Amino acid sequence: MRTSNGSLTNLLDLPAELTAKARAVPGLQERLLRFIRMEVAMNERRQLRYSPEAMAVVQRARDLVEKRKAEGGGREEGMRAFERNFREITETL
């Protein structure tokens, strides 16, 4: 007997037209579960591998990228920011 504690509807907004098509794909649920398990395991390994400080720097960089995207920042400024972030991350490691 298999129990379910959650669904992708809590994680992913899937367009209605895609939902019906996805339900028709044989074995899709099993493949998605395998993929999600693999991603969770990889994330757990990353959490153990890198220090909390390094992970915080990476998260700040991601947040900054999202903020700049929302503000419409250009590619050149994005590359400069990437170089700064990369330097900060490598210095932290």
Q: What is the pLDDT of residues 53-78, one digit of tens each?
A: 888 888 998 898 788 778 876 777 77
DSSP line for 26-84 = TTHHHHHHHHHHHHHHHHHHHHHHS-HHHHHHHHHHHHHHHHHHHHT--HHHHHHHHHH
Query: What six digits make up the tokens of 16?
Result: 């209605």
Predicted local confidence at residue 93, as pLDDT: 73
Note whether residue 2 is domain-resident. no
Do both 88 and 76 map to the same domain? yes
Query: How many structural domains is the chain composed of?
Result: 2
pTM score:
0.47
Which domain covers residue 70, as residue numbers? 51-93
Note whether residue 92 is domain-resident. yes
Per-residue pLDDT at 1 exceeds 60: no
The pLDDT-based confidence of 32 (bands split at 50, 70, 90) is very high
Predicted local confidence at residue 41, as pLDDT: 95
Using CB atoms within 10 Å of the CB of residue 92, give its burial: 0 to 12 exposed, 13 to 18 middle, 19+ buried.
Answer: middle
Do both 31 and 45 map to the same domain? yes
Do both 86 and 75 map to the same domain? yes
Predicted local confidence at residue 6, as pLDDT: 65
